[in-house]
Structure 1
Amino acid sequence: MIKRLILTALCLTGLALPVIAQSFDRVVQAEVLPGWQEKDGSRIAAIRITLNPGWKTYWRAPGDAGIPPSFDWTGSSNVQSVGVTWPTPEVFSQNGMRSIGYKEELILPVHITPKKDGKQVRFKAVMDIGVCRDICVPQRLKVSAKFPKDTGKRDPIIAAAIASRPLTKSEAGVKKASCRISTSADGLMVTARLHLPSTGGDEIAVIETDNPLVWVSEAKTHREGGVLVAKSELMHVNGDSFMVNRSTLRFTVLGKRHAVDIQGCSAG
């Protein structure tokens, strides 16, 4: 746990893009797929991260054995906001520790809203990620691209990555999500009761907060019929006191058939 807290504290940082790309000893490379323009003037593009065989990188919540990714878009011009769509990740187990991420390639769709319609967008970013095989190495990738002014054709690679995202509550048939928050020796304990049909196989639940300085333990899960129960401990990496807003908690259930993304929970 101490090792995980140190990694979390050290790895709070940035993002990535192409045309100009940087790699770590040729283990990882990044580029921007220009994608297409939507009717409202926003753009759907993607960052493609390619790793050598046997290497992997991590999901936004990487697990106890992973390094959390971070993004920085501040070098961009004519960009109001950037939204990231995470494809459903895989779960890895190594030396008794669990990590969550992607093997050898990650197509990461980004939804870019310009500040001014009709003006060219320059997308420039820095991404701090972890790349791992036998060892894990933090790596910073820098990429940039100018998007064409034409609308462009819908890219099936990006579309497939968007389609592979976890299902929403309504898509997955989630009836209710409640959670009980109690104190623990070192922080808080969250016990969630997620009323949803089975996602298949051994289900893994991941609990996230909106505070990057709060470490969340690997959730312990079990089924009670139509309810998946998930329990995690929350601790501040600096040992400070903190509060949890139920509406900002995020629960991802990873099953054999599909994954589900649940935003917020009620008291219970």
Structure 2
Amino acid sequence: MKRAFPTYIAVFLATTVLTPAGAAEADFASPPSKGAVSAARLLAAGPAQGGVYRAGVEIDLNPATITYWRQPGEAGSPPVFDFSRSVNVARVETSFPAPKHIDEAGTIVAGYDGKVVFPLKVTPQDPKAPVTLNLTLDYAACGKICLPAKAELSLALPRAGASPFAAEIAAAEKRVPQKVGAAEAKKRLALRKEDAQDSWRLSYKGPGKAQDVFPEVAEPLFIESKRDGADFTLTLFSTGAKPKAADATITVVTDKEAFEAPARLE
């Protein structure tokens, strides 16, 4: 007959096995701040390398819920990251992974669904002293209704050990569009003015095939993009007076990579 362990032994073994993994995760992630349809937390990729820590802000969304890119379009609120209360931090560089276009009740916005990690590069003031990230995060979590969310997050960045989130942060970093200069942009993109007012046709010349484009311009302007055959149509809108020309940034997602390039609309 198979002999059962006493209850106290089973509990001891379970604790012995599970505690190290749980402790390791707690060392590299802040407690989650949970909202009605989302949760947010800070993640650390590991100790500093070359004087810089790699980290991330994770927003985990319920099914059928979205959050927004840095310039969503006609509707939506981009996330706002405030690291001003951090300890021993000289600079935090926040990156946005390439978004997708999402139909939100008939309005097309640029954003994310499911889960998104925004990569961070954290430079300490004193590389020899401990670093604590303190983040106030404001973002929108939108499903059937759009709910504002606020998270207060804190994480002491670890100075030793292997992070269980290193691969997740590295994957998010690969999704961040690479910046190209004006000369390279002219090789990859062709813009020509359409007959319609405030409209341009964007042709992509490679490498790879363009899957989607996300144009940005300074407020009070915004740009709407639509696929038109192999090309894209960019239409400029404004909540005020429209200028004769505007400087834009165009993020292109291809079957090989994503990149962002400067453009001049005139």
Residue 103 of structure 1: how far off its partner (Å): 1.8
Query: Per-residue CA shift, 1:71-122, capped at 9, x if unaligned?
Result: 2111112212212232232322143211222222112211111122111111
Q: Is the alpha carbon distance of 1:263 and 1:21 closer, same or farther for their aligned partners in structure 2, counting shifts above 3 Å?
A: same
Aligned to 1:208: 216
Q: Aligned to 2:123, which of 100, 110, 113? A: 113
Matched AA of 1:104: G
Q: Is the 8 A contact 1:38 1:151 kept in 2?
A: no
Q: Distance in 1 between matches of 2:158 and 2:189?
A: 43
More helix by share: 2
Q: What is the one-letter code of the residue matched to 1:207?
A: P
Partner of 1:252: 251
Q: Residues of 2 paired with 1:241 and 1:200: CA distance?
A: 32
Residue in structure 2 matched with residue 262 of structure 1 by the alignment: 260
Q: Cα distance 1:107–1:262, how it changes in 2: closer, same or farther (>3 A)? A: closer
Q: Structure 1: how far apart are the matches of 2:245 and 2:43?
A: 37
- Out of 119, 129, 151, the position equivalent to 2:139 is 129
Aligned amino acid, residue 233 of structure 1: L
Q: Which of 232, 235, 238 does residue 232 from structure 1 map onto?
A: 235
- Is 1:156 equivalent to 2:167 in the alignment? yes
CA gap 1:98/1:198 in 2 versus in 1, 3 angstroms: farther
TM-score (norm 1): 0.72
- Kept in 2: contact 1:56–1:102 (CA 8 A): yes
The one-letter amino acid of 2:111's match is G
| Amino acid in the other structure paired with 1:197 | G
Structure 1 unpaired stretches of 5+: 1-16
In the alignment, structure 2 segments of 5+ residues that lack a partner are 1-27
- Count of matched residue pairs: 234
In structure 2, relative to structure 1, the CA distance for the partners of 1:198 and 1:148 (3 Å cut) is closer
- Which runs of structure 2 are paired with 1:58-137 in the superposition (5 Å)? 58-137=68-147
Determine the C-alpha separation between the residues in 2 that align with 1:128 and 1:117. 29
Q: Which runs of 4+ in 1 moved over 6 A?
A: 240-245
Aligned partner letter, 2:175: S
For the residues of structure 1 that align with 2:58 and 2:236, how far apart are their CA atoms? 34
Corresponding residue number in structure 1 for 2:177: 166
Superposed CA RMSD in Å reads 3.4
Letter in 1 for 2:135: A
- CA-CA distance at 1:230 after TM superposition: 4.0
Kindly state the Cα deviation for residue 35 of structure 1 after the two structures are TM-superposed: 1.1
**CA deviation string 1:106-143 (max 9, x = no partner):** 12211111122111111111121111111111212221
Matching residue of 2:18 = none
Structure 2 CA distance for partners of 1:44 and 1:244, relative to 1, 3 Å: farther
1:260–1:194 Cα change, 3 Å: farther
Partner SS, residue 206 of structure 2: coil
